Structure 1
Amino acid sequence: MQELQSPQTFSDLTPEHILRAAEHATGLGFTGLVAPLPSYINRVYELQDMDGRRHIIKFYRPARWSKAALEDEHRFLLDCAAAELPVVAPATLRKGGTLEETGPIFFALFQKRAGRELDITHDRDWEQLGRLIARLHNVAAADKAAHRLYLHPDKTLARDGEELLRGCIPAAMREDFQSLIEQLKDISRPLFEKETLIRLHGDLHRKNILHRPGEGLLLIDFDDMMTGPAMQDLWLLLPDRLEKCRREAGLLMEGYRTFRDLAHSSTELTEPLRAMRQIYFLAWCHRQKNDTRFSATFPDWGSESFWRQELKDLKSQIERIQPRSTRPAFHFIADL
């Protein structure tokens, strides 16, 4: 009988590979159920063991994160679970850790926990979210993540900007792009100096918070976990720009301050963080551009007209930030 070769890429992952990896890692027997779940970056499948329990197996995109970086993410999740925060921690595997590999692909298993997408309809929902994120940050601040991204103008922004300049910005636009990156760094740097940087979820938008009827909220997808300012885990939840949703922002931060201090000046970071996210996403796309699924999803990415529009959007965003950097921060009142 021919020996099953270890997969080298996601395209090599067959149901047989997936089941064998799960059985070897856990010591459990599994049925033939291998149901793919939506995930662009990683490959995620639902499995069922012989006792009928459902599991999620997650194969991490090769070369995206080091083993140490993935262990930082898992440690954060385990810390959260130990503090009784609503997360799904990775399962402890047969060898005692939470991470295994098949060929060059790291993977982990999780208990299946489903829920509905978060729907914010009442003032109390914003306050509840704020309290939950503050509790998350209290756990986050107790340790470090030395191998994850460090969200800072002189770290992630500088790295992403340099990568784009080297790899894909049309020559005629490079000088303008570099000038915009330098402006953004200069504007953002003093704001970051006021902040304590802690472990973060990193990508905490509404689709990464589920509602489980009868239980409450569930935080999912810590794949972009990083170190940075607390505001990064708050601004993505807002329904609009800060000046257009002062009430919602006030309620969110009022809830947050129930369990953790947050300076009013932290709100000044919202628009710089939005601009930094634009650059981060462009750099991420650049790394994926040769992936067949990426080219099908973003067929016009990288064209001259694409970059012309991106530079226009970035310039507009920086113009929005510049006057804000000299204004006092909003002082929100929740009951306006």
Structure 2
Amino acid sequence: MNDTAFTFKTLNPDTILDALFEHGIRVDSGLTPLNSFENRVYQFQDEDRQRFVVKFYRPQRWSAEQIAEEHQFALELQADEIPMAAPLRFNGDTVLTHQGYYFAVFPSLGGRQYEADNIDQMEWVGRYLGRIHQTGRRERFQHRPEMGVKEYLLEPRQVFEHSNLMPAALKERFLKTTDELIDAVMAQWHGRFNLLRLHGDCHPGNILWRDGPLFVDLDDARTGPAVQDLWMLLNGDKAEQRMQLETIIEAYEEFCPFNTEELALIEPLRAMRLVYYLAWLIRRWDDPAFPKNFPWLTGEDYWLRQTATFAEQIKTLREPPLQLVPMY
């Protein structure tokens, strides 16, 4: 796939309409872009006034086999009566192609925003995460990656070193702080957890509320520790996070046991996400959507703040990890 396709320059409305028409869908409305930088996602209405969402995957990221595993996991969850947005089949296939692009069509499922500070909603989400992981434990991904330090720390470190986006005068200090952060994570990254298929990116923005939670976007699904799908739901100070964690885990364990030793991975996982996200921005800079939406990435203030954020995370990693209050 050429670089033009990687940046979606060849994906125009006519291409999208042709791709859908090839699979028997006649669009009877405009294509409304939805919030997604990694892929290109559009909502539309067909001639029968049914609403759908079409997702075009960024070329060079996932293989057809990896996308198929994402879809299969979504369909398994749906079959287990878990509220998960799953792709539609066309002649038995969910992974569709057009002009070298992989794409998929989903029913359009509306809902309210999940309230991240609502304990009742958090309890519901914890219960469904237990069910998601109950399904996720049944088998392993064969093609999608395993969450680990190579993808989330070591490879991004190389991206930083070879990037020309950060001011040269700040690069040495930033790389030194990055190395210290990596060392701090490596000191705590242990193997005392069971690997399972995860949502992978279960933050509040990927949960809608429709008389209960509706989970969307398995684009980052991969194999890893269960706590990866829990920690991004936490917010506030440590006391608030502890209360939230107790709520989530109590509900979670109605369906699936939780290994409390994984709580020590919360801050390492947070650090890995910080590093990976920054490398993701740099890797996508050739896509015109990124300089347009992240213009501050080349500014000195941004890199000074990132260095300070990494340094603060190092301090957090050296503190005792978040723990549940013992029950007597």
User: Following TM superposition, by how much is the alpha carbon of 1:282 offset from its aligned partner in structure 2, in angstroms?
Assistant: 0.8
Partner AA of 2:120 in structure 1: R
Corresponding residue of 2:82? 85
Corresponding residue of 2:192? 194
Alignment of 1:163-182 (within 5 A): 163-168=159-164, 170=168, 172-173=172-173, 176-177=176-177, 179-182=179-182
Corresponding residue of 1:111? 107
Alignment partners' CA distance in 1, 2:188 and 2:147? 11
User: Following TM superposition, by how much is the alpha carbon of 1:49 offset from its aligned partner in structure 2, in angstroms?
Assistant: 2.5
CA displacement 1:117-142 (0-9 Å, x = unmatched): 11256543222111110100111111
User: Following TM superposition, by how much is the alpha carbon of 1:152 offset from its aligned partner in structure 2, in angstroms?
Assistant: 1.6
Alignment partners' CA distance in 2, 1:85 and 1:268? 28
Does the Cα contact within 8 Å between 2:85 and 2:217 map onto a contact in 1? no
User: Following TM superposition, by how much is the alpha carbon of 1:178 offset from its aligned partner in structure 2, in angstroms?
Assistant: 5.2
Alignment partners' CA distance in 2, 1:174 and 1:235? 26
Does the Cα contact within 8 Å between 2:227 and 2:263 map onto a contact in 1? yes
Corresponding residue of 2:11? 13
Give me the TM-score of the superposition, normalised by structure 2: 0.88
Higher RCO (Cα < 8 Å, 6 or more apart): 2
Give the secondary-structure state (helix, strand or coil) at the position aligned to 2:28: strand
Alignment partners' CA distance in 2, 1:200 and 1:89? 15
Corresponding residue of 1:288? 284
**Residue among 130, 135, 139 paired with 1:139:** 135
Alignment partners' CA distance in 1, 2:155 and 2:65? 20
**Residue among 46, 51, 64 paired with 2:48:** 51
Partner AA of 1:332 in structure 2: V
Corresponding residue of 1:3? none
Does the Cα contact within 8 Å between 2:181 and 2:314 map onto a contact in 1? no
Does the Cα contact within 8 Å between 2:116 and 2:204 map onto a contact in 1? no
User: Following TM superposition, by how much is the alpha carbon of 1:263 offset from its aligned partner in structure 2, in angstroms?
Assistant: 2.2
Corresponding residue of 1:331? 324
Corresponding residue of 2:67? 70
CA displacement 1:18-55 (0-9 Å, x = unmatched): 22211212x24442543332322222222322322221
Corresponding residue of 2:202? 204
Alignment partners' CA distance in 1, 2:163 and 2:146? 22
Does the Cα contact within 8 Å between 1:153 and 1:188 map onto a contact in 2? no
Alignment partners' CA distance in 2, 1:232 and 1:48? 35
* Residue correspondences, number: 320
Structure 2, unaligned runs of 5 or more: none
Partner AA of 2:199 in structure 1: H
Partner AA of 2:179 in structure 1: S
Does the Cα contact within 8 Å between 2:39 and 2:57 map onto a contact in 1? yes
Does the Cα contact within 8 Å between 1:161 and 1:181 map onto a contact in 2? no
Q: Which shifted more, 158-167 or 221-230? A: 158-167
Corresponding residue of 1:151? 147
When the two chains are superposed, the root-mean-square deviation of aligned CA atoms in Å is: 2.4
1:228 aligns with 2:224: yes
Give the secondary-structure state (helix, strand or coil) at the position aligned to 2:65: helix
User: Following TM superposition, by how much is the alpha carbon of 1:322 offset from its aligned partner in structure 2, in angstroms?
Assistant: 1.6
Does the Cα contact within 8 Å between 2:66 and 2:143 map onto a contact in 1? yes
Partner AA of 1:288 in structure 2: R
Alignment partners' CA distance in 2, 1:241 and 1:273? 18
Partner AA of 1:63 in structure 2: Q
Alignment partners' CA distance in 2, 1:159 and 1:172? 18
User: Following TM superposition, by how much is the alpha carbon of 1:103 offset from its aligned partner in structure 2, in angstroms?
Assistant: 1.8
Corresponding residue of 1:263? 259
Does the Cα contact within 8 Å between 1:58 and 1:108 map onto a contact in 2? yes
Corresponding residue of 1:184? 184
User: Following TM superposition, by how much is the alpha carbon of 1:241 offset from its aligned partner in structure 2, in angstroms?
Assistant: 4.7
1:97 aligns with 2:90: no
User: Following TM superposition, by how much is the alpha carbon of 1:102 offset from its aligned partner in structure 2, in angstroms?
Assistant: 1.7
Give me the TM-score of the superposition, normalised by structure 1: 0.86
CA gap of 1:68–1:230, structure 2 versus 1, over 3 A, is same
CA displacement 1:185-226 (0-9 Å, x = unmatched): 422322xx111121111111111111114xx21001112212
Q: Which shifted more, 161-170 or 271-280? A: 161-170
**Residue among 312, 321, 335 paired with 2:317:** 321
CA gap of 1:174–1:235, structure 2 versus 1, over 3 A, is closer
User: Following TM superposition, by how much is the alpha carbon of 1:10 offset from its aligned partner in structure 2, in angstroms?
Assistant: 2.5
Identity of aligned residues (%): 32
**Residue among 293, 297, 319 paired with 2:293:** 297
Alignment partners' CA distance in 2, 1:259 and 1:208? 21
